[in-house]
Amino acid sequence: MNDNQPLRRWAIGAALCLTLTYPLMATSSEPASEALQQALTQRIQQSGETLPVESFYQLRDGQPAWQAINRVEALVSALNSLVDDGLTPSDYQAASLLDDFQLSQQLDAQAKASFDVRATRSLLLALDHLSLGKVNPKDVEPNWDLPRPERSYALPRVVQAVEEGDVHQALAFARPASPEYAQLREALTHYRRLAEQGSVPYLPGREESLRPGDIDDDVQTLRQRLTLWGEPHLLAADSSAYPMVDVQASGADPRSFDRELAQAVMRFQRRHQLQEDGVVGERTRLALNMPVSARVNQLRINLERARWIRPSLERAPNVWVDIAGYRLHYTRPNGQHWDTRVVVGSP
């Protein structure tokens, strides 16, 4: 019996240590959470934001939103996707958020709270830019007379999407829902991809216009430029030479300005409000030679304009008059539209 007493004392002591240690560990995590909430409350009160940061956290009962790496990764992924809306992810600190999160996790509650509010601000700023536009149109055009749209998203739905880890969906709540906006996004994605993959030879300047029936080396370059702008069936060439376009080689002489090519030129001219004669003169050549990067910038600008007039785009039916192009566009709620030429100005 006496021989077993030291062993018994050791076992009882070990059990007491285990019993005392675990409650202390569990309790030590609670003050940290409370400290984080207090730091978060102070940080929100000091922020003086025009963005609805305080409302965001009120809907979360004052709880932090960005203290798990998977949620921060979802935020970064969603912010990076804004390039498809013509926006710049660096405006929302997308590149630094993950590193800043990891650093904050090694520091005190104040650092964690500061990061949380900053991440929330990045999200809310992106939501505002999607919903209202990044630039106030009156700063660009003082005579702009359309009222600036109001925030189009419901903040409770955004908070719920964040809670579920679906930040892409949170951004979708603010994105204009019109078919025109979706088409612009799709076009921007397409031309950004082309810009990243390479270039196509430019159509050289010449004294004589290229006309149907011509046989000329420049006709092959014309086919290549039209292929870039959406006529992939025209290019009778080695498809591997132009990986940036979806080429389907035809059996026609690539130097021949045939009827099919003339029709493609007319379609291009129609889309660019040029005279639809199938002749490649100076104006058509300049339009064909527009760099892809310039088209990307055009689309980014038009996406911003679409955000400015979002209420008008989402109201249907719509009638739009292209004054410069002398055309009228009528759009129905189901996406169907009708175009016609019009006379602009006094008769």
pLDDT digits (tens, 9 = 90+) for 263-272: 999 999 988 8
Q: Which tokens go with 40? A: 């978060």
pLDDT in tens, 25-63: 222 333 347 889 899 999 888 777 789 999 999 999 999
Query: Which token pair is 102?
Result: 């990891």
Query: What type of residue is 71?
Result: R
Q: CA-CA distance, 119 to 49, in Å (whole number)?
A: 13
Mean pLDDT confidence for 270-287: 92
Report pLDDT digits (tens) over 194-208. Answer: 888 777 889 999 999
Q: Is the distance from CB of 185 to CB of 85 less than 8 angstroms?
A: yes
Is residue 93's pLDDT more than 50? Answer: yes
346 pLDDT tier (thresholds 50, 70, 90): low
**Per-residue pLDDT tens over the stretch 187-236:** 999 889 888 877 788 999 999 999 999 999 999 999 988 888 877 666 54
Q: In Å, how far are 6, 18, 21, 75, 201 from 12, measured between CA atoms?
A: 10, 10, 14, 50, 86
pTM as predicted: 0.75
Residue 91 binned pLDDT confidence (cut-offs 50, 70, 90): very high
Which domains are delineated in the chain? 53-175 (no CATH), 200-290 (1.10.101.10), 316-347 (no CATH)
